[in-house]
Structure 1
Amino acid sequence: MQAAPSSSVGNIRSFRDLDVYAAAMEIFERTKEFPKEETYAMVDQMHRSSRSVCANSAEAWRRRRSADYFRLKLGDAEREAAETRVWIEFAYRCEYLTADVVQDLDHQYDQIVGQRVHMIANAEDWKIRE
């Protein structure tokens, strides 16, 4: 399980410190066990949205010169995390994931969304000073 997000700018030095990779990799591993008929539906959507959280977070991090663009890309990451949570719920209701796994993944994505919301609200604190 991933650590709780840091709330301090000083603790995060790279987009890799934004705690999104563990959750995406767990989804990747868990979906290996899904039925083959879900490969091009649920599995692809879960992979795409969970990886998009990572990609949008990385892009936001590199665009910290503009607080507005930073907020925009973090908002994209937040929306992709919300979509990922929907797919996790579908996987649970289809009995592809256990309640314990869903609870863990939901907690991880709750932390990810919370961190994005905090960063959006405090975008000026994250801005690169030139």
Structure 2
Amino acid sequence: MNKINSHKDLKVWQESMILVEEIYRLTSNFPKEEQFGLISQMRRASISIPSNIAEGAGRNGYAEFIRFLYISLGSLSELETQVEISYRLKYSEENEIITNRIFFIKNMLSKLINKLKEDK
């Protein structure tokens, strides 16, 4: 893999930043009693995804980058579950755009991890 100039050059980081915006919009309509519950959890999980991509890209070497990409993948799975919970609790309607973006980011993260493992 070629050395990136900035984590901002990574499509997976760009897509995960869009996901953060979508999650903030989605949760802005949740009941106020969820302010310190599901709203906070979903926002933190979404923020964790691009944050860990950025931190990993700024580290020294592929092994550390891969480790942070796995953390992002974990946060993405956590967020996927929380989105499902929000549907089940009827706080939101099923949102195909968010669901598809989560799936897309999962695929990109997995491919990037595999590519970095090959290049090590």
TM bracket, shorter-chain basis = 0.7 to 0.9
Is 1:88 aligned to 2:83, yes or no? yes
The separation in 2 between residues aligned to 1:98 and 1:70, in whole angstroms, is 35
User: Does the CA contact (< 8 Å) of 1:9 and 1:125 recur in 2?
Assistant: no
CA distance in 1, matches of 2:105, 2:6: 15
Alignment of 1:18-37 (within 5 A): 18=13, 19-37=15-33
Instruction: For 1:46, give the aligned amino acid.
Output: M
Does 1:79 pair with 2:71? no
Distance 1:43 1:98 in 2: 15
Question: CA offsets per residue over residues 62-110 of structure 1, 9 Å max, x none?
Answer: 12x41111110000000000000000000000111112x2x21111011
Please give the secondary structure, in 2, of the residue aligned with 1:40. Answer: coil
Structure 2 length normalisation: TM-score? 0.87
Q: 1:34-113 maps to which residues of 2 (within 5 A)?
A: 34-63=30-59, 65-99=60-94, 101=95, 103-113=96-106
Distance in 2 between residues matched to 1:9 and 1:37, nearest whole Å: 47
The letter for the 1-side match of 2:36 is Y
CA distance in 2, matches of 1:126, 1:52: 25
The number of residues matched between the two structures is: 116
TM-align CA RMSD: 2.1
Letter in 2 for 1:15: H
TM-score by length of 1: 0.80
* Unaligned stretches of 5+ residues in structure 2: none
Work out whether residues 15 and 57 of structure 1, in 8 Å CA contact, stay in contact via their aligned partners in 2: yes
Q: Percent identity?
A: 25
User: Which string of whole-angstrom CA distances, capped at 9 and with x for unpartnered residues, describes residues 49-71 of structure 1?
Assistant: 000001101111112x4111111
Greater than 6 Å deviation, 4+ residue runs = none
Structure 1 residue 125, shift from structure 2 partner: 6.9
